[in-house]
Structure formats: structure tokens, C-alpha cells
A = this chain, B = another copy of it.
Amino acid sequence: MALTTRNADKRMQILEATIRVLRERGLSGLKVEDVARAAEVGKGTVYLYFRDKQDLLRALVEYRTLSFYRDAEALVKAAKPFRERLRDLLSRRLEFIDEWRGLWAAVAAEAVKEDKESWLKGLHERYQAILEDFVEGGIRDGELRADLEVRLVAATLAALGCAPQLDFPREAFLDQLVEVWVKGVGA
């Protein structure tokens, strides 16, 4: 138990270190040795918790992505007005993208060499499902037009938020995004 806990802690510690190094040094600068140093463990220890570097990356992608999905789900189901929930979702989405510095797809590609397509598709479907729920709820509540094709609209939401080089206030940008999308598909 204590052991399991300590192990789980160290796993996390390594995963957190990994994304930190990734952000600082980029994908080609991501060395196992640096990850170990950043996690304050020995290099060999990384291999006690992950089969190899690819396994570490796969675990990282799943850890941060599922964490994002969990948050996204909670945010869109919160007891708040529709627009606020949308704004929270998009905000968290921008945060997610920023966390990866645009490297998500590249890391994901390294993380899984076989069955890549189905793995990616599986991940994305979970997000798509969350968004479809949100859209359906919006329609039910009269916030969104009833004649929309849910899957397509959810997809436009998923497609919203590629992080441009923001040289203006993030809040204003978020407001504008919400504004556009709500006007675009709102009732």
C-alpha cells in the first residue's frame, strides 16, 4: 500500500518532469537522462517505471490528455450558464495546447508506433463525445439551434483553439471566441 503509493508518486514525479523537460527543451531535446535529473531520480529508475522511452511518452500523453478530458467534462457539466461553461472549456483547451507548446501531435506520434491510428482515434473520440454531450445539452436547454447536426457542431468546437501567437490579451481573445461560436450556432 505504502509502497504502491510511493511508486505511484514516483511515476507521477517522472511524468511531471517529462513534460517540464519537453516544454523547455523540445522533443529532440528530450533525453531520458534529463528527465531523470529533473525528476530527481536516477536514470535507471525511469526504466523501473516505464518499459522504455516510448512507453514513457505514451503514458505522458495519456496522463495529460485524460486529465484534460476529465477537466473538460467537469467544466461543461458545471452548474453555470451555458456561455460560462463554454468559456471555461475553451480556456482549459488553450491551457492544454499551451502546456504542450504545440508538440502534442509529435509526441503522440513518437508514443505509439503501431495501431497509432486507432489509438489516436480512440483518444479523440472521448473528447468528441464530451463535446457532443455539451452540444446536445445546449440544444435541450434552448441555448443552441435545434436544427444542428450535433456531431458536426461538436467538431467545429474541437477545431476551435489552435493556439496562435497571441499578442493581445488572452481574456479578450477568449471572449471573442465564445462570442463567435455562440453567435454562430446559438439559438
Counting CB contacts under 8 A, is A81 at the interface? Answer: no
Interface segment out of the listed A42-50, A64-72, A174-182? A174-182
Counting CB contacts under 8 A, is A140 at the interface? Answer: no
In the complex, are the beta carbons of A160 and B158 less than 8 A apart? no
Counting CB contacts under 8 A, is A183 at the interface? Answer: yes
A147-165 toward B: CB 8 Å interface, digit per residue (1/0)?
0010111011011111111
Q: For this complex, into which size category does the number of interface residues on chain A fall?
A: 35 or more
- Contact flag A105-B110 (CB < 8 Å), given A153-B176, A156-B180: no
State A30–B108 Cα separation when bound (angstroms): 16
In the complex, are the beta carbons of B158 and A164 less than 8 A apart? yes
**When the two chains form the complex, which single residue of B103, B107, B121, B152 contacts A176, counting CB atoms closer than 8 Å?**
B152
- Contact flag A177-B164 (CB < 8 Å), given A27-B110, A103-B106: no
**When the two chains form the complex, which single residue of B27, B105, B161 contacts A101, counting CB atoms closer than 8 Å?**
B105
- Contact flag A121-B151 (CB < 8 Å), given A159-B161, A162-B158: no
State A105–B180 Cα separation when bound (angstroms): 26
Counting CB contacts under 8 A, is A3 at the interface? Answer: no
For A168, the chain B residues whose CB sits under 8 A away are 151-152, 155
State A91–B105 Cα separation when bound (angstroms): 20
The distance from the CB of A52 to the nearest CB of chain B, in whole angstroms, is 13
- Contact flag A164-B124 (CB < 8 Å), given A152-B176, A177-B156, A184-B181: yes
